[in-house]
A and B are shown apart, each in its own frame.
Chain A
Amino acid sequence: MTASATDETRAGKPSRKVRVLIAKPGLDGHDRGAKVVARALRDAGMEVVYTGLRQSAEQIVAAAAQEDVDVVGLSILSGAHLPICRKVMELLREKGMEGVRVFVGGIIPTQDIPELKSMGVAEVFLPGSSTRDVIRLVESSVVPLDPH
């Protein structure tokens, strides 16, 4: 899809809708958080693609490229966040998609947050996070194409 298909110019806002991929990597099926976040982002006016369950890192990065997203949100509750995020970030770099911002939500020990950020993860949302914070992060991830 091209940007022009979703053109929407507002003062101080990006000139097209922000495109977000919400992904569930690994084997875990707990999708409550992923779906609540996907819906909140959509209600905030973003184009949201949800991968569905059990996607490998390769599938997620391929979907991010195909859907031309600005932001990827990974929902991980199983404790597999470190190896999964490492793989996703590597693949994004390999494909020259460093511009895509990645955030992670789920059951993540606070001790692991510095390591995730050193991999290039933009933000980590723990249980109890507000969808408003997620929306703010996603909005701030996209440089307005047509600043006023």
Chain B
Amino acid sequence: MKKVLDEKPAAEGRRKESAGPFTTISGRPIDPLYGPEDVRSLDYDRDLADPGQFPYTRGVHETMYRGKVWTMRQFAGFGSAAQTNARFKYLLEHGGHGLSVAFDLPTLMGRDPDHPLSLGEVGKCGVAVTSLRDMETLFEGIPLDDVTTSMTINSPAAMLLAFYILVGEKQGVPETELAGTIQADILKEFIAQKEYIFPPRPSMRVIVDMIRYCTEHMPRWNTISISGYHIREAGSTAAQELAFTLRDGIEYVQWCVDAGMDVDTFAPRLSFFFNAHSDFFEEIAKYRAARRIWARTMKERFGARNPRSWMLRFHTQTAGVSLTAQQPLNNIVRTALEALAGVLGGTQSLHTNSFDEALALPTEEAVTIALRTQQIIAHETGVVNTADPLAGSYFVERLTSEIEAEALEYFRKIDAMGGMVAAIERGFPQREIQEAAFQFQRAVERKGKVIVGVNDYVMEEKPVPILYIEESVAEEQAARVAALKATRDAARVRRALESLKDAARGDDNVMVPILEASRAYATLGEMCDALREVWGEYEEPPVF
């Protein structure tokens, strides 16, 4: 109460500005007040338009959440395929709408569990999937024509997609009916998350092959999820997240067009994935700017004619990096506010983080609270009643235009370098992010940014219960793989891996031999090793 009284406006009616600097979490200066001048250059029909109308600044659907609330999709995966299968069933029983698979690091890096670098990593930050056999267990009792599934996998995305298609086949669900998303965004791996295997150019070729395969065979599948989430987690600003993500999107479209595909055949199935960080209005502005830039880019730069090619549809995840290990229950509040920004920004699907994730993988209790947070926003706050409620706010519109301009400036720089692959090879986005991350850390340490419970309002606390993954998961997984190798048709596996190498050396779509090798129960490590043999492995120069 004392604090509130202290903040009462002074006699002249002007509040003292002592708590500054007044900047967003990205360091963007914010004015004390915004007014009509700030939106003077905006033209409603040209720059905003109603939801469902080009350039979709206000949302991609006319009715937005009145028509359909966002998909509540909680990212989950840990331990063995059987353990994660149980967590999936739990989430679906408690009102989750779709599945989202987190894979462990050996899977993400295309290594079998018995590889020396897999030490301690099996089943730790996701589920261990080494072959089609594990994928069958993962979706046991979950009919694939009943759910949509998102898979966070990039370098070995083609193999995991093949496993999913084959599980569908075994369940009697044809690939034409499978619905979901595969992340398959390799560019942001080079830029931020660093889970790459092959060098950038052959990596891009796999993505183009996958997009082509899905375009021809899987009309309900989102072929890629072009992701800013990890760019932001690595420390970028909001505008960098937006700029690098959309410029990655341009790169994929350009490579597909260069490979002879008609833009309107594949662009409607491209999807995006953004972070919801803690700076409320900046995040909302970011999503609105994203839609406007993408619509104009697709129409003007690529000549797309299908309105579905113009629409930027996106998934949102609250910022893992904003969670604190200190006073972890506070993270419930952070996540709720971040999720609200995602919803006010018009997201199509949402993952809310669990409060214990700065410490370990989430417990079932923490996961339930995270899902309930979304349900409270959807059913109790009233924010779903009308589309884009913040449109016309002097501040939000001004911020939207500013972030858009900053992103377009990055486009010009990256275009001048010869595109995103070339910019990555020069280390440009990597350096920009590294610098922003360092500046933010310095601001925190100077208390230029207060993080509650970390650099202010600190107190003694007791540890919270966390989820433990037993080391036995690794041994069991290695034993399962050994048993699989003893029973499969070894000659068929060898032949399939040889055809995969042939395709990699030539121009044939690698999806075809990957499907055959997967059907023969070749392991993920074996398939990736075959490609390592042809393409080599990428190593980033260790610069800091």
Contacts and interface: CB of A to CB of B under 8 A. Distances in A.
Interface stretch (A6-14, A74-82, A93-101): A74-82
B80 to A, nearest CB: 15
B67 to A, nearest CB: 37
Given A56-B117, A79-B124, A107-B359, A128 B325 contact: yes
Contacts of B434: 35
Interface stretch (A45-53, A115-123, A136-144): A45-53
A38 B544 contact: yes
Given A35-B437, A84-B120, A127 B324 contact: yes
A40 B189 CA distance: 25
A27 B445 contact: no
A28 interface: yes
A130 B442 CA distance: 9
Interface string B449-479: 0010111000000010010110100000000
Interface residues of B, number: 50
Contacts of A83: 119-120, 471
Contact of B544 (A30, A50, A54, A128): A50
A126 B121 CA distance: 19
Interface stretch (B89-97, B108-116, B373-381): B108-116
Contacts of B326: 126, 128
Which of B118, B119, B544 has the most C-beta atoms of chain A within 10 angstroms of its own C-beta?
B544
B263 interface: no
A44 interface: no
A35 to B, nearest CB: 4
Interface in A24-63: 26-32, 34-36, 38-40, 42, 48, 50-54, 56-57
Interface residues of A, number: 43
Contacts, number: 129
A15 interface: no
B105 to A, nearest CB: 4
Interface in B465-499: 466, 468-469, 471
Interface of B: 105-106, 108-109, 111, 116-121, 124-125, 189, 193-196, 233-235, 321, 323-326, 358-361, 434, 437-438, 441, 445, 451, 453-455, 463, 466, 468-469, 471, 539-544
26 contacts: A22-B544, A27-B106, A28-B105, A30-B233, A32-B437, A35-B434, A35-B438, A39-B544, A50-B542, A52-B539, A52-B542, A53-B540, A56-B116, A78-B120, A78-B124, A79-B361, A79-B469, A83-B471, A87-B119, A107-B358, A109-B360, A110-B463, A111-B463, A126-B358, A128-B325, A130-B445
Given A39-B438, A82-B471, 12 more contacts: A26-B119, A26-B120, A27-B117, A27-B195, A29-B194, A36-B438, A50-B544, A52-B542, A78-B120, A109-B463, A128-B324, A131-B441
